[in-house]
Amino acid sequence: MIDMESHTQYSAEKTKEYENFIEKNLDALMERYSSVEQKYRSLYDNSPDLLRTINLDGVIIDCNQTYAKKLGYARGEIIGASIFEHVTENSLDALKESFRIWKTNGNVLDREIWLKRKDDTIFPTLLSATNLYDTDGKLIGSNTTIKDISEIHNAQKRLVEHEKILQEQYEQIRTSNEILLETELRYRSLYEHSPDLLRTIDTRWTNFRL
């Protein structure tokens, strides 16, 4: 005959054992999750690129410290703002087009967009975006990576200016050569057709042209 009291006690002990096992493993999983989240956050915040996360309406729901620092805002001032608030007027249409392409194709790659800082100074960037999904696979927004290309842009600008200077110098030399050639031809014509007897001598009074 089954001892109901002993069976009940055994069941209670096993249940407690299972609960302890689940709790222990759940704590371990939560600890690992927290560790991974912290590492991800550290990588996110310390990335040299400007990173932001937006929802389907183009509202910024997260950004890294690089993004905030480059634009001159506190992170709290950025969260909740529209992405169109941080773009220059000349790049507004390009950003709208990029936003449309992302919603249609699910990604955007290396679109040149000029951003505007809090103090109204501007700088060039390359923007790329990929889809962001929730745990159920539902599209909820975009992760955007923005590279500051100020150094590249400035180098290209200096190169263009240098090429312009070289072109101007080339034109000056070409013009000078044309003037020199024209002068030489006139001089030769006068020399050869002069009714007078002409001769050219060097500093030692040696004839070298009659």
User: pTM for this structure?
Assistant: 0.63
Q: pLDDT band at 5, cuts 50/70/90?
A: low
**Residue 183 — φ and ψ, nearest 5°?**
-65, -40
* Residue 117, phi-psi category: left (phi > 0), alpha (psi -120 to 50), beta (remainder): beta
- Cα distances (angstroms) measured from residue 165 to each of 152, 161, 171, 175, 195: 20, 6, 10, 15, 47
CATH code assigned to 45-148: 3.30.450.20
Q: Please compute the mean of the pLDDT values over residues 71-90 and round it to a whole number.
A: 96
E strand spans, 39-189: 50-55, 60-63, 107-116, 122-133, 139-148
Q: 3-state class of 90 per DSSP?
A: helix
- Domain positions in the chain are 45-148, 156-209
| Cβ neighbourhood burial of 95 (10 Å; 0-12, 13-18, 19+) | buried
What letter represents residue 61's amino acid?
A: I
Least confident of 94-103, 128-137, 194-203: 194-203
What is the Cα–Cα distance from 108 to 191, expressed in whole angstroms? 73
pLDDT at res. 208: 47
**For the segment 127-147, what is each residue's pLDDT rounded down to a tens digit?**
999 999 988 889 999 999 999
pLDDT at res. 46: 84
pLDDT of 196 > 90? The answer is: no
